[in-house]
Amino acid sequence: APATPKNRSLVRLTLNAGLREADIDKLLAACAAIRDEVDLESWSSTKRLRRLTLVN
């Protein structure tokens, strides 16, 4: 079974050491732009991480 929650997607990114700073900035901006669109705040993994952070 995949380690991705049902009805969710998982993207793993690997940055190549040869990327320029502008390329990395563009990638980070794209991730930030879709954050609200995928409703990351409602994901159970986000809520779980937030609870763990409050406990520690």
CA angle 39, 41, 42 (to 5 degrees): 75
**pTM, to two decimals:** 0.54
DSSP string, 18-41: T--HHHHHHHHHHHHHHHTTTTGG
Residue 3 binned pLDDT confidence (cut-offs 50, 70, 90): low
pLDDT digits (tens, 9 = 90+) for 8-38: 666 777 788 999 999 999 999 988 898 888 8
